[in-house]
A and B are shown apart, each in its own frame.
Chain A
Amino acid sequence: MPTTRRQFLSLAGGVTAAGTIPIVTLRRLHATPAMLNTAIRNVVGEAPIRTGRVKLDIPPLVENGNTVPMMVSVASPMTADDHVKSIHIFNEKNPQPNIGNFYLGPSCGRAQVATRIRLADTQKVVAIARLSDDTFWQVAVDVVVTLAACTEEMN
């Protein structure tokens, strides 16, 4: 079933018809850098984390934190004995530090994943890749958010 660009974009911009959404009020609730470190250590364990090899494409200035496009790619040949096992995305100040875990393998051919995320505040986003030799590589990017997620109209 081929999908036209128009259909794809209209659904992407659309809203689910899943009943009415309750009016919500703003209530600040944030993770801390300590929680970020704990979440990272839960994935990495005691292993050292090196900087490099991972690229995180994310807008440096975001108008709407409810949907922020993000792409992670890792420089890897993606062969049976040298590939990316997994990619983990974290944030510093959302209510919880995890964003997503992505599990890849040599059959992927390219270590690149894209999605759209929510950011509740101006903060650091961290991507960590685990390679097949069990080394960990990371990159951190600062994102400025002008309209935070989870701050819908207050009545």
Chain B
Amino acid sequence: MAALINVPAKAKRGDVIEIRTLTSHIMETGFRHTVEGKLVPRDIITSFTCRYNGAEVFRADLFPAIAANPYLSFFTVARESGKFEFEWIGDNGYSSTASASITVE
């Protein structure tokens, strides 16, 4: 499952750092029709969570109006070295995870 995570490898304690994530997903809205007039069923990512050493720091509910291959950027305070864990959950039992490490001095 292709996800791109952009987290600084190193930060000073107390720095506000930007985290950027991009995951590949069709994000089918459920509002489109085929030529035969059949509705194309909805298939989207509905929720995204970022945890920093186990504690949730950012969460998002996504709707069909989020573009394909959802991109999200947000900020967090670098408090301690450790791991960011990312989780995407969606329709039809979709689930994917990724993680990134950071060294805080």
Chain A residues with Cβ below 8 Å from B55 are 107
Question: CA of A107 to CA of B20 in the docked complex: distance in angstroms?
Answer: 16
Range, interface on chain B: 35 or more
A2 touches B25 (CB 8 A): no
Distance of A29 Cα from B57 Cα, bound (Å): 36
Known A113-B72, A115-B73; contact A11-B6, beta-carbon cutoff 8 A: no
CB-based contact A99/B40 at 8 Å: no
Q: Are A96 and B64 in contact (CB under 8 A)?
A: yes
A3 near B32: Cβ-Cβ < 8 Å: no
Interface residues of chain B: helix, strand, loop or mixed (majority): strand
Chain A: residues with CB nearer than 8 A to chain B? 1-3, 7-8, 11-12, 14-16, 18, 21-25, 27, 29, 66-68, 71, 91, 94-96, 98-105, 107-110, 112-119, 150, 152, 155
Q: Is the CB of A24 within 8 A of B33?
A: yes
A2 and B100 CA atoms in complex are apart in Å by 9
Q: Given A68-B67, A114-B72, list of 14 further CB < 8 A pairs?
A: A8-B6, A11-B2, A11-B24, A14-B69, A22-B40, A24-B33, A24-B40, A71-B73, A96-B65, A102-B59, A107-B55, A109-B16, A113-B72, A115-B70
Beta-carbon contacts under 8 Å, B50-105 to A: 52, 55, 57-77, 79, 100
B residues apposed to A, CB below 8 Å: 2, 4-6, 9, 16, 20, 22, 24-26, 29, 31-35, 37, 40, 52, 55, 57-77, 79, 100
> Can you name the residue of chain B whose Cβ is closest to the Cβ of A119?
B65
Q: CB distance B60 to A103 under 8 Å?
A: yes
Given the contacts A66-B67, A94-B65, A107 and B57 also touching, CB distance less than 8 Å: yes
Top-4 shortest CB links A-B: A109-B16, A109-B77, A114-B73, A110-B75
From B22, B33, B68, B76, contact of A107 by CB (8 A): B76
Q: Which residue of the partner chain, among A7, A22, A108, contacts B34 with CB atoms under 8 Å?
A: A22
In the complex with contacts A108-B77, A113-B74, A118-B66, A29-B4 CB distance below 8 A: no
Contacting residues, chain B, for A24 (C-beta < 8 A)? 32-35, 40
